[in-house]
Structures are given as C-alpha cells and as structure tokens.
Amino acid sequence: MELSQLSTALLSTQVSALPAPLAGRLYLGLAWGLVLAVLALVLLRHRGLNPMGLQRWLPPLLLLCCLLPGGLSPAFWLGLAFRAPSGLLALLCAWVLLRYYRPQTPGASGFESLRFGTPALVLLGWALLLDTFALLPLSLYAWGFAPLTLGALVLLACLPWLLRGNATLSGLLVTALLLHVLMRLPSGNVWDAVLDPWFWLLLQVDWLRRHLRRSHA
C-alpha cells in the first residue's frame, strides 16, 4: 500500500461500522443499569440510609431492572431521551460497584483515579460542544470515525499509567476503547466511547466541588 493510500485510510471518516443491534440493546440496558446502581449507592451513602441492608441489594436490583426487555426497562426510556452512556462511564460505574462489594480489590477508587484525566475530558467536551454548533473550522465529531483518532487515543490512554502510575485510569480507558474496537460500542464513534454529556457535566461538577473545597480549606 502506498503512503498516500495509507494516510487516506487512516484519516477516512466516510466508512463507519456501527454496533450490532443486539449488542447495542444489551449495552444500553447494562450501561444505564450500572449508572443507576452507582447513583443510588452514592445517594444512600451520602444520606446515611441503609435500612435492611438497602445499600447492598438496591444497586443490583436496579441493574436487573434495566436488563428487562422493551418498555419494562428504565434503560429503554433513558435511551430514548439521552442515548447510551459512554463506555468509560459504564466501566467507571462497574469499577465503583466492584470496589464497594469487594473492598479488597487492588487499585485506586474509580472517581479518584479519574481525576488525573478530568481536564482533558472536560476540554474535549467543550470542543465537541463547539463542534455541535459548527463553531470549529473542522468537524471534530466526524473525526471520531477515523482510525487515526482511535490510535491516538490509545496512546493517550497509556499516559496516566506511564506518568503517574495510575493503572486504574489507563485500564478503564483502554478497556473502553477495546469495546469500541471489538463491538463498536456504544455508537460506532470513538468520542462516544470516552465521553457523553452527563459524564461531561459530572466531571465539571466534581472539579468545581474540589476547587471550592480547596479555596475554603
């Protein structure tokens, strides 16, 4: 293959493989189930509520409810309104639940490990928002279908481990990208594998909360 043909293939955004319908439906239920399970767990722990071991059984119950078929599943309606969570958010929630139910699991806690990559993800979200309103000179979202973008993200995903020894964040990022490569989840676009609107807002709220806490310390 000539160099020009190789560069064209790496930069091409024209051919986009989408996830299989069954894989997409299963992912939608599982991802929203994980998000709702962690949300319930965080709220219960914040309020100090645990009647009859509620913190132990409510998150798995919510996860199972989201795996129900069709309109019986909360994930069905959440998917209609907000589409599917990003692969990174789903994996982060799975890691949080694993650390809660098995505290002896080695590695940093989910949200703590993510904070090294927060600035980059927040900036990416703002860039994609500007792209949504056609305020950038190029179509950034379309670049999410280019193989070169995927390769660059894989290299960047290794930086937390190489620079800070943060194997948890690198592992979550690489796994999210691997799901994208193998099954094109969640949408076929690599940006959706690492970021979604709600995740982006969560990152900014977490950064603002930590900044205010430091300023009042």
- What average pLDDT is seen over the chain? 88
Task: Answer with the residue of higher pLDDT: 172 or 2.
Answer: 172
| Contact (CB, 8 A) for 187 and 176 | no
pLDDT at 186: 94
Q: Decide: 38 and 111 in contact? Cβ < 8 Å.
A: no
Give the whole-angstrom CA distance, residue 210 versus residue 204. 10
**Distance from CA of residue 171 to its chain's centroid?**
13
Domain boundaries, the chain: 20-84, 105-217
HSE (side-chain half, CA atoms, 13 Å) at 5: 2
Query: Using 50, 70 and 90 to split pLDDT, how confident is the model at 63?
Result: very high
Per-residue pLDDT tens digits for 157-166? 999 999 888 8
Identify which of 16, 4, 6 has the alpha carbon closest to the alpha carbon of residue 146: 16
Task: Quick: pLDDT tens for 65-120.
Answer: 999 999 999 999 999 999 999 999 999 999 999 999 988 777 666 677 788 888 99
pLDDT in tens, 142-152: 999 988 899 99
CA distance 144 to 123: 16
| pLDDT tens column, 19-57 | 889 999 999 999 999 999 999 999 998 888 888 888 899
Six-digit token pair at 100?
């809660």
Mean pLDDT across 128-137:
94
> What is the share, in percent, of the chain residues with pLDDT greater than 90?
63
Q: Looking at residue 210, what is its pLDDT?
A: 85
pLDDT reported for residue 77: 97
The reported pLDDT for the residue numbered 5 is: 54
Specify burial of residue 173 (Cβ count, 10 A radius: 0-12, 13-18, 19+).
Answer: buried
